[in-house]
Amino acid sequence: MKEIGYQADGGLLGWGRLTAETHEMNPDLQWPQSIDVFDRMRREDTQVKSVLRAVKLPIMRTEWVVDGAGCRPEVTKYVADNLGLPVKGEPFEAPLRLKGRFSFKEFLRLALLELDFGHSFFEQVYDQSDGSTRLAKLAWRPPRTIADVEVAPDGGLVAIKQRGISGGSVVTIPVDRLVAFVNEREGANWLGESILRSAYKMWLLKDRLLRVQALTAERNGLGIPTFTSAPPPEGSTYEEAEEWMKREIDRGLEIAKAARAGESAGVSLAADSKFALTGVTGRLPDTDKPIRYYDEQIAGAVLANFLSLGGDNATGSYALGATFVNFFTDSLNATAQHIAEVVQSHVVEDLVDLNWGSSEPSPRVVPAVIGETQTLTAEAVRALIDCGALTTDPALEEYLRAKYGMPVKGAADAPDDDPSSSDLPTDAELARNAAEVAQKVYLATDKKPLTQAVAREIIRRTGADITGSGPEEAT
């Protein structure tokens, strides 16, 4: 059934239509002028930069995997190899070379620029040299190069137009070759909205106040050198007095301009002449407080209020900071899920369709949940092993050794494949060795020796061979 209404007015063309779709009333933030404004904000302001990093880095740091549930293994592996991601539940096999291969981390970094500018477009580029269709790269199309965005009346994206190189003709990239990341798109607004839009007013006022603060320090920080000349000699005529005053004023101005602090600095004055550093009378405006307020509002624009906690006069508590972080991580997970959905719809499924057709089940790109990773401790591992949730296997041992910075287990330490090997100590030998080690520990540390029963129980639970161990190893 055909749509009756519309989302985009096809009668408006070019920037006028795009401005109408974004509903932006501030001329400085109407596209494409907004690109330069948001670029200045993220490059010049430290608070804006820290806010953007706080949003992007956890999303880039979290683990991204390909979930092949319900899909054929060869399809899942093919998609994972193209994206350079591990398959969920399987050990990651690193490629032999990274040069010339698709980098998901670099692609993710550029895709997250939709948060800076409101949109980030990519062109799909495939390689069919070996008979199959492989993803060669997702070529980023910088926002500065976008000349127009074509939108259908129903609000769907038709194409983007990119400015030609060196004044050449405009390049049109159709939607079937595009991957469009748009932040908070509403209707036909394929330019999106930058997360810095709500912080623009605070950034602008803060920028002006910083300039006033610097000017205040420059004009009033050290005081102004002033010189008061002595009166003309008594009995001087009007002409002589005028000449005297002119000469003294010029000399005083020269002294005031040349005044510097230093080891050999000084001023020589005639009788009744005066030289002083004149400061500001009254109180200078306190600009630190409003600047801190503007920083708090900039952080609050992305729910990063915890960035404002701490400092000389800040208030708050650990519980309050934890609450702020919880809201913030929820927003990060929502952003990561948005990125994953776009990649799934316009990268993974397109790749599966080109190789196996639209009827083939497609694996999913899944980001790990941010903020829910529990700290792995030795006590937690022991509790999991004791309750049977984990089993001691070589892979777990290798991971724990790497986790806690322990040396890699050598070939000489590897267990014998034959459990009936005669090299294994008997129970009596284990008990004797345990008793000897306990005695060494007692002599070295004054700790009460363990009984043979306790020592044998420790050996039974840990499975460790302590033959030849010294006091340090036994401890």
pLDDT in tens, 358-381: 999 999 999 999 886 667 777 888
pLDDT at 104: 92
Q: How far apart are CA 17 and CA 189, in angstroms?
A: 10
Cβ(204)–Cβ(38) below 8 Å: no
Least confident of 23-27, 68-72, 160-164, 351-355: 23-27
* Higher pLDDT among residues 15 and 392, named by residue: 392
Instruction: Give the DSSP per-residue string, 166-235.
Output: GG-PPEEEEGGGEEEEETT--TT-TT---TTSTTHHHHHHHHHHHHHHHHHHHHHSS-EEEEEPPPPPTT
Instruction: Give the DSSP per-residue string, 38-83.
Output: HHHHHHH-HHHHHHHHHHHHHHHHS-EEEE-TTS-HHHHHHHHHHH
Q: How far apart are CA 29 and CA 118, in angstroms?
A: 12
Q: H or E element: which one contains 363?
A: none
Q: What is the mean pLDDT of residues 9-36?
A: 72
- pLDDT of 19 strictly over 60: no
Q: Which two tokens stand for residue 306?
A: 């915890």
Q: Which two tokens stand for residue 89?
A: 């539940």
Q: How far apart are CA 196 and CA 38, in angstroms?
A: 7
Cβ(75)–Cβ(361) below 8 Å: yes
pLDDT single digits (tens) 246-273: 888 888 888 888 887 777 888 877 778 8
- pLDDT of 42 strictly over 90: yes
Confidence of residue 52 (pLDDT cuts 50, 70, 90): very high
pLDDT single digits (tens) 396-413: 778 777 777 778 776 555
Give buried/exposed letters for 107-143 (b at 16+ CB in 10 A, else e).
Answer: bbebbbbbbbbbbbbbbbebeeeeeebbbbbbebbeb
Least confident of 15-19, 63-67, 128-132, 218-222: 15-19
* Higher pLDDT among residues 134 and 440, named by residue: 134
Q: Which of 183, 267, 263 is nearest to 225 (CA)?
A: 267
pLDDT single digits (tens) 277-318: 877 777 777 788 888 889 889 988 888 777 766 655 455 555
Give me the chain's average pLDDT, please.
81
Global pTM value: 0.70
* Higher pLDDT among residues 23 and 462, named by residue: 23
pLDDT at 438: 65
Strand pairing report for 157-162 and 146-151: antiparallel
Angle formed at CA 12 by CA 9 and CA 16, multiple of 5 degrees: 120
Confidence of residue 91 (pLDDT cuts 50, 70, 90): confident
Least confident of 124-133, 139-148, 221-230: 221-230
pLDDT at 128: 87
pLDDT at 311: 56
Q: How far apart are CA 66 and CA 340, in angstroms?
A: 11
pLDDT at 334: 93
Q: What is the mean pLDDT of residues 39-58?
A: 93
Strand partners, 274: 228
pLDDT at 21: 62
Q: Which of 50, 62, 169, 181 is nearest to 111 (CA)?
A: 181
pLDDT at 225: 84
DSSP state of 348: I
pLDDT at 474: 42
Confidence of residue 205 (pLDDT cuts 50, 70, 90): very high
pLDDT at 232: 85
Q: How far apart are CA 10 and CA 140, in angstroms?
A: 27
pLDDT at 12: 44
Cβ(202)–Cβ(210) below 8 Å: no
DSSP state of 411: G
Q: Which of 399, 469, 402, 403 is nearest to 436 (CA)?
A: 469
- pLDDT of 22 strictly over 80: no
Cβ(29)–Cβ(199) below 8 Å: no
pLDDT single digits (tens) 167-185: 778 899 999 999 999 999 9
pLDDT single digits (tens) 335-353: 999 999 999 999 999 999 9
pLDDT at 247: 87
pLDDT at 9: 66
